Each structure stands twice: as C-alpha cells, then as structure tokens.
C-alpha cells in the first residue's frame, strides 16, 4: 500500500513539471467613466502590456483589442489573441518572474 501511495505522489509531481504556459487566457473588466459610472453598450479599444516585476520601461509584450461592452459595461478579452504591438507572447517569462499587467483604455473606441 505504501509503494502505491508513493507512486501516485510521484505521478502528481511529474504532472506539475510538464505544465505548459497558456497560449491565451480570458480577462474581464468593467469600462467606466471618470466618475465610476459603467459605460453600457459602447465600443472601446484597450491596449494590454505585460511587464516583468513592475511597470517600467518597454513591456515584454503588448497587444491591442477592439471590443464592445455589454448592458452592464462589462467587456471580455482573450489575452494572447489581440493585435500585436510590441514583442511576442513567447517572450513573457511566466515561470521566472512576477508578470504585471497594464491595461490602457480608450472609451471612445
């Protein structure tokens, strides 16, 4: 019984070593004006930057999205699938450093 338990623990550990970085992931936010009022049913553009450690200098990767908000002002993006501005998705070192996300929005679309 003890050897079976050790086998399963080793198997679980092996699975974490084979984990892969996602090619994209979902991000949701609420678009609002300067007073915090949600902007429903509006076309917006967003620029998303990925930095290591802190938001200084040029991002490792940056992409642009054009989308619309729903009736509650909520938008949904697939980060990693936008229009590339700088760098490449593969240049983000997810495993070695903290990754900081910066979202810039143009509420006029």
Which residue reads 């989308």 in tokens?
67
pLDDT recorded at residue 21: 58
Task: For the chain, list the strands marked E by DSSP.
Answer: 25-30, 43-52, 61-68, 74-79, 83-87, 99-106
**Contact call for residues 108 and 69 (beta carbons, < 8 A):** no
pLDDT recorded at residue 19: 56
Low-confidence residues in the chain, pLDDT < 50: 4-8, 11, 16-17
* pLDDT one-digit tens code per residue, 58-87: 899 999 999 999 999 999 999 999 999 999
Which residue reads 């070593």 in tokens?
17
For residue 39, which of 104, 106, 107, 105 has the smallest C-alpha distance? 107
48 beta partners: 63, 103
pLDDT recorded at residue 57: 81
Q: What is the pTM of this model?
A: 0.75
* Residue 89 to residue 3: CA distance in whole angstroms: 42
C-alpha distances (whole Å) from 93 to each of 7, 14, 21, 52 are 31, 21, 9, 8
């Amino acid at each position: 019984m003890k050897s079976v338990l050790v086998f399963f623990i080793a198997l679980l550990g092996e699975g974490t070593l084979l984990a892969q970085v996602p090619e994209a992931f979902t991000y949701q936010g609420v678009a609002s004006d300067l007073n915090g009022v949600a902007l429903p049913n509006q076309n917006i553009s967003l620029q998303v930057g990925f930095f290591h450690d802190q938001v200084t200098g040029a991002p490792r990767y940056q992409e642009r999205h054009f989308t619309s908000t729903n009736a509650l002002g909520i938008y949904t993006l697939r980060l990693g699938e936008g229009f590339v501005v700088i760098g490449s998705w593969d240049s983000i070192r997810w495993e070695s450093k903290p990754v900081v996300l910066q979202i810039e929005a143009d509420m006029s679309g």
